[in-house]
Structure 1
Amino acid sequence: MISAGTSEEVTIAVLVPCFNEAATIAGVVADFSRVLPAATVYVFDNMSTDDTAEVARSAGAVVVRAMRRGKGSVVRKMFSEVEADIYLMVDGDGTYEAEVAAAMVDRLRSDVLDMVVGARVPSDRDGREYPSGHAMGNKFFSQLYSAMFDSAIGDAFSGYRAMSRRFVKSFPATTSGFDIETELLAHASELKLEFCEIPARYYSRPDGSESKLGTYTDGIKILWSALRLFRDVHPKRFFGFGAVLLTLAALILGVPVIEEFIETGLVLRLPTALLAVALQLIAFLLLTCGFIISSVRQVSREQRRLAYLAVSMLRPISSSEVRQGSNPDQLVSGVGHEGLAAPDALGESR
């Protein structure tokens, strides 16, 4: 385990998943070290082929190698290995506004939330920061997720999030790619955890930095992951929807056959009748699967809820502390790296 330090106050870990971000990672480490000076910045290098690890280490971050490819795999390792009271996750591409980090931590504590999402707001209108394809996809998926998971969200794919220890340590992290943000939202929805969004300026990538997100390839993967998570979180709705569609198809095919039988006493279209019966039987099977899987998921949900409750709750900020402003020194105490356990086994430290 990697510890962000221990104290009577709150410890914050800034988690930065990275793959080939040598051009931006030094600035990210410097910015968040400045905004949250008592926090520990961890860079999880996902087998980069450039100098990301060396640059991050030189900038003062704790560097850990994540050998299993994919952002979801890196997040799974980050959440399991790092110990802290508050986790601030941000991409290493230098596109997120560091100055809002303290406000996100403030909001997490003052409102006793489990997650605060930095909702991206382009810093200007030239379109460079947010490609039109990504913007349209994000808007579509955000509305889709809001409907699927009963959670209003404006920026479903933001990589900028502050999370409580309870949230992180109860998160299963089953996905391996960019769809990890989808699973974070599904986790909050399934356990009925409270979260909010805070606007955060979004900047363009500097020269030499390239996006790893494919508009269409990753979009298809994310949609597939969303359907899978919807099936897991709401199995009765998922299988019930399929049962309704098959029932409608069975009625469309079967009603004319029944009318002919009433008029003539004969089944003139036997194959159509058999198909209608088969579709209705499959519909009943889907409905039965939905109820069975829902019962199984309820047990799993209760176990995860117990795991969530087993983690001690963070002391909220008083109203007077909030009025004093977003001073990071009032939120976290000084932390060192004496809690870094077995660095040779986990990765490379400073």
Structure 2
Amino acid sequence: MTDYAPADPPALVRADIVLPCLDEAEALPRVLARVPHGWRAIVVDNGSTDGSADVARSLGATVVREPRRGFGSACHAGLLAAEAEYVCFCDCDGSLDPALLPGFVRRLAGGESDLLLGRRRPTSRGAWPLHARAGNIALSRMLRHRTGLRLHDLGPMRAVRREALLALGLTDRRSGYPLEMVVRAADAGLRVDETDVPYLPRTGKSKVTGTWLGTWHAVRDMRAVLRQPGPRTPSDVRAEASR
């Protein structure tokens, strides 16, 4: 699917949008201006020193402070603060467009999917660094081996029912959180799908995948998630009983 237009009037669906934030004061005005009307933006300040929390608050966002550093810590704090039936996640660095998310939620409400991910499609050569893209490809292949899911991207833009996500009991609080969400959803039998979204050059400097070292740390965290055992099958139980 390659239609990037927000095809669904925001009034038809409602959700809370979790925006993990670390020093994104420059990008926040543009990002929050794209939040669908009537939706609640939850900006999770994960230790910003540039006044991001004040900027977000002045623009009408709900601000949650999460002192424990880590992408997963920020995402999960936002999830716990969310109250709507649907919860969406989106980076707040200007690389992704929150205005597309009503289309995500409409597909969930229509029963097409249980967890819908945005497959990033770079709009320019510099939008997605080569090392970050290579790490993503490698992880997607490992995910396919672990779960059977044929996904192309493990991007941060996604939508899911809040109660279904809470029931997964996610424990990673670092860069492995997005991958753990997908793995546990697959293990629980939820339908996981992806849809194309434009990926723009971010505003400011990346905190995670902007460097080889940052990408390496993210891949390390995610590989740890993939090494966790999968769900027990009837054959596993029989094998244990015969020992």
| TM-score, length of structure 2 as denominator length | 0.84
Instruction: State the distance in 2 between where 1:153 and 1:167 align.
Output: 20
Does 2:226 correspond to 1:230? yes
CA distance in 2, matches of 1:217, 1:148: 25
1:97 CA drift (Å)? 2.4
Is 1:159 the equivalent of 2:156?
yes
1:301 — aligned with what? none
Give 1:235 shift: 7.6
Aligned position for 2:132: 134
Q: Trace 1:245-324 onto structure 2 (pairs within 5 A).
A: none
Deviation at residue 74 of structure 1 after TM alignment: 1.3
Q: Percent identity?
A: 27
The residue that corresponds to 2:198 in the other structure is: 201
Distance 2:114 2:229 in 1: 19
Listed as ranges, the gaps of 5+ residues in structure 2 are 1-11
Larger Rg over CA atoms: 1
Q: Which residue of 2 aligns with 1:311?
A: none
2:85 and 2:64 map into 1 onto residues whose CA distance is: 19
Displacement after TM superposition at 1:119 (Å): 0.8
* Separation (CA, whole Å) in 1 of partners of 2:215 and 2:142: 13
Report how far residue 232 of structure 1 moved.
Answer: 2.9
Quick check: 1:10–1:86 contact (8 Å CA) kept in 2?
no
Structure 1 pair 235–117 and aligned structure 2 pair: CA distance change class (3 A):
closer
In 2, distance between residues paired with 1:160 and 1:63? 19
Question: For residue 20 of structure 1, what is the amino acid of its counterpart?
Answer: D
Deviation at 1:217, TM superposition (A): 3.5
2:56 maps to a residue whose letter is A
Instruction: Go from structure 1 to structure 2 and tell me whether the alpha carbon gap of 1:222 and 1:233 turns closer, same or farther (over 3 Å shift).
Output: farther
- Equivalent residue letter for 2:31: V
Q: Deviations over 1:76-130 (max 9, x none)?
A: 2222232210001101101002332121111111125221111100113xx1101
Q: Which has the higher helix share?
A: 1
Give deviations 1:301-330, integer Å, cap 9, x for gaps.
xxxxxxxxxxxxxxxxxxxxxxxxxxxxxx
Q: Which runs of 5+ in 1 are unaligned?
A: 1-8, 238-290, 296-350
Deviations for 1:9-37, whole angstroms, at most 9, x for unmatched residues?
A: 964101101001111012111111xxx21
Partner of 1:60: 60
Distance across 2 between alignment mates of 1:137 and 1:16: 23
Could you tell me which of 8, 12, 20 is aligned with 1:17?
A: 20
- Supply the RMSD in Å over aligned alpha carbons: 2.3
Taking structure 1 as reference, are residues 202 and 116 closer, same or farther at Cα in structure 2, changes over 3 Å only?
Answer: same
Q: Which residue is 1:262 aligned to? A: none
Q: Which moved more, 1:209-218 or 1:178-187?
A: 209-218
1:178 and 2:175 aligned: yes
Number of the residue aligned with 2:143: 145
CA contact (8 A) 1:75 1:173 kept: no
Distance 1:201 1:53, change over 3 A: same
Higher RCO (CA 8 Å, separation ≥ 6 residues): 1
SS in 2 for 1:159: coil
**From 207, 211, 227, the counterpart of 1:212:** 207
Question: Match of 1:28?
Answer: 31
Q: In the alignment, which residue of structure 1 is the partner of 2:105? A: 105
Contact residue 44 and residue 65 of structure 1 kept, 8 A: yes
Supply the AA of the counterpart residue of 1:130: W
CA distance in 2, matches of 1:217, 1:171: 30
Which whole-Å CA distance do the structure 1 matches of 2:56 and 2:47 have between them? 14
Q: Amino acid of the residue matched to residue 102 of structure 2?
A: A
